[in-house]
Amino acid sequence: MIGLRAAVDALAAALRGGLDPEADSPRSAVPVRQGQLLLMPAEWGRYAGVKVATVAPGNPARGLPRIQGQYLLLDAETLAVLNVLDAVELTLVRTAAVSAVAVDALAEPDAARLVVFGAGPQARGHVEALRAVRPASEVVVVGRDPARAEALAAAVGGRVGSPSDVAGAGLVACCTTSRTPLFDGALLGPDTTVVAVGSHEPEAREVDDETVRRSTVVVESRETALREAGDIVQAVRAGACPADELLGLAAVVRGEAKAAPGRPRFFKSVGMAWEDLVVAATDYQAGRDRDH
């Protein structure tokens, strides 16, 4: 799998090149007894692809991954299978990379203090990805499991903290399975950029209405966010964020839309099929280039 820096560059280049996230096919999420079956198809340029993934919330207690699955990369002309990738690894890379694309477009250039909520693979991936685009020299880890939080903090050269550490942070990354807000949005400084990636369900959220109300809000796709992003759906319902004020990531990356000065910036990601496809296709092409 390509590295995070290469994935960040590929996603940003695709958006600058005209890829339209609003044209992405909706995710199919089928409830089953122990979780969900997810189907995520997309087409982009010379490639098509589909991710088949499962989400089993009870698996960690069994010592098994919460998310499992495979990704099929296809030739767009013949629909022949070109490659099969592990969906968990692909999801880890593309999720952190999309956050880094947003942070690179939104955050202050000298953002040095990163508060990360969560202590799992996504949290670790976000530290690496955000450090690829911003200094992030001080990392504070906030997690429910003290041992895991200590382990991640040691691995990234940071320290364990609490939700109040978002005060004074340049960057905040929410990488949890929480269904309720993680911190008080009133604590955010005017130069803070927040990313939240933990859910794609309208009933779940990682940030509160105050975070959304105070912020310039950026989403991958307005239509998708209003369907799947609980952080957005619930804030819109409460009157904290007019739906027509949501900015699309593509417009921000292309410089067609800008964050308002003097306000926090909030990027909500639910994960979309075009992101998987761009990273999978870039990985495949990199392998072909190495072989030749």
pLDDT in tens, 60-105: 899 998 889 999 999 999 999 999 999 999 999 999 999 999 999 9
pLDDT of residue 290: 83
pLDDT of residue 199: 87
To the nearest whole percent, how much of the chain has pLDDT over 70?
100
- The one-character DSSP state at 118 is -
pLDDT of residue 289: 85
Continuous segment of H or E residues that includes residue 13: helix 4-16
Rounded to the nearest integer, the mean pLDDT of the chain is 96
Strand stretches in the chain, DSSP E: 28-32, 35-44, 47-55, 67-75, 81-86, 113-117, 138-142, 159-160, 171-174, 193-196, 216-219, 247-248, 265-268
pLDDT in tens, 159-218: 999 999 999 999 999 999 999 999 999 999 999 999 999 988 999 999 999 999 999 999
Residue 220 scores a pLDDT above 80: yes
pLDDT of residue 154: 98
> Helix axis angle, 121-131 relative to 4-16, nearest 10°?
70
Spacing of C-alpha 239 from chain mean position? 24
pLDDT of residue 214: 98
pTM above 0.85, yes or no: yes
What is the per-residue DSSP string for 224-265?
A: HHHHH-HHHHHHHHTTSS-GGGPEEHHHHHTTSS-PPTTS-E
First to last CA, the chain: 18
What is the per-residue DSSP string for 155-188?
A: HHT-EE--GGGGTT-SEEEE-S--SS--S-GGG-
Over residues 39-54, the mean pLDDT reads 97
